[in-house]
């Protein structure tokens, strides 16, 4: 996990037609502007530890909404939305709890995507 280049991974994810469909909405951007990136990162840790980290998730594949919070959008864009996607894209095994290093990696990836989206939106739009 530590040797993964986040920028290369984001580039690889952006080449997926499905993953590249996800972008932050104006509502998401305003939420980030209001709360700040540090608070969004706290939310990301909370969501990952409660919704993605357990070894067995009853509703795996359906636990991450497609809207409602910038972290949810990032999870879909970064293939961190369910344990199946985590395995397929990041080779993180299913059927066991995520360790702290894996959780930190996921949050780092999500925050890199969110920050990139936020900066891109800010550059192209007046906030």
Domain ranges of the chain: 6-124
Q: pLDDT at position 1, please?
A: 53
Reply yes or no on whether the pLDDT at 3 is more than 70.
no
Q: How confident is the model over 50-103, as pLDDT tens digits?
A: 999 999 888 888 889 999 999 999 999 999 999 999 999 999 999 999 999 999
Q: Which residues contact 107 (CB under 8 A, 6 or more apart)?
A: 41, 44, 45, 48
- The backbone torsions φ and ψ at residue 18, rounded to the nearest 5 degrees and listed phi first, read -70, -50
Q: What is the pTM of this model?
A: 0.92
Half-sphere exposure of 6 (CA within 13 A, CB side): 14
- Nearest-CA neighbor of 80 among 36, 48, 34? 48
d(CA 98, CA 53): 5
Q: pLDDT at position 34, please?
A: 96
Structure confidence at residue 127 as a pLDDT band (50, 70, 90)? low
d(CA 107, CA 51): 13
Structure confidence at residue 120 as a pLDDT band (50, 70, 90)? confident
């Amino acid at each position: 996990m530590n040797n993964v280049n986040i920028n290369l991974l984001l580039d690889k994810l952006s080449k997926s037609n499905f993953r590249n469909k996800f972008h932050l909405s104006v509502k998401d951007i305003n939420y980030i502007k209001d709360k700040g990136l540090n608070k969004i990162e706290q939310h990301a840790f909370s969501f990952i530890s409660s919704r993605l980290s357990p070894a067995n998730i009853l509703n795996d594949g359906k636990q991450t909404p497609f809207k409602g919070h910038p972290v949810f959008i990032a999870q879909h864009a970064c293939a961190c939305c369910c344990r199946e996607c985590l395995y397929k894209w990041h080779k993180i095994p299913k059927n066991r709890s995520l360790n702290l290093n894996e959780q930190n990696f996921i949050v780092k990836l999500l925050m890199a995507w969110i920050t990139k989206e936020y900066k891109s939106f800010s550059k192209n739009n007046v906030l």
